[in-house]
Amino acid sequence: DGGITQSPKYLFRKEGQNVTLSCEQNLNHDAMYWYRQDPGQGLRLIYYSQIVNDFQKGDIAEGYSVSREKKESFPLTVTSAQKNPTAFYLCASTSGTGLTGELFFGEGSRLTVL
């Protein structure tokens, strides 16, 4: 079945450590996104990528980095520069030029900084 796979589902990290969250999609979608969600809040856009080898900062990119070396993959690194990294992270994709414009989401990764 086509979809988006995020891993790990739960991750614990010590302060000062970088961590990388994986996002893989087999939907052949061009565009991929990373969102952050804090308790009781909506989704905030961290980074997005419209095509391979290109990505753009979203609203809260500071302390995060991404890469898009393959169409299927859009990993997010939470660096030690991110002051409050504990959150629920969601990856999404869309065909970009598709007729529906529907966003498909993964199941999320919950990061806790100890």
* Interface contacts to another protein, rule CB under 8 A: 4, 6, 31, 33, 35, 40-45, 48, 50, 56, 58-59, 88, 90, 92, 96-108, 110
| Min separation Cβ 90 and another protein, Å | 6
Other C-beta atoms lying within 10 Å of the C-beta of residue 35: 24
Other C-beta atoms lying within 10 Å of the C-beta of residue 74: 29
Residue 68 tokens, joined = 């898009």
| Min separation Cβ 66 and another protein, Å | 14
**15 vs 99 by CB, closer to another protein:** 99
Sign of CA dihedral 59, 56, 92, 19: negative
* Distance, CA of 47 to CA of 78 (rounded, Å): 12
Provide the pairing of β-strand 64-66 with 54-57: unpaired
**63 vs 108 by CB, closer to another protein:** 108
| Min separation Cβ 53 and another protein, Å | 16
| Min separation Cβ 31 and another protein, Å | 6
Contact 52, 69 (CB under 8 A): yes
**80 vs 86 by CB, closer to another protein:** 86
**8 vs 96 by CB, closer to another protein:** 96
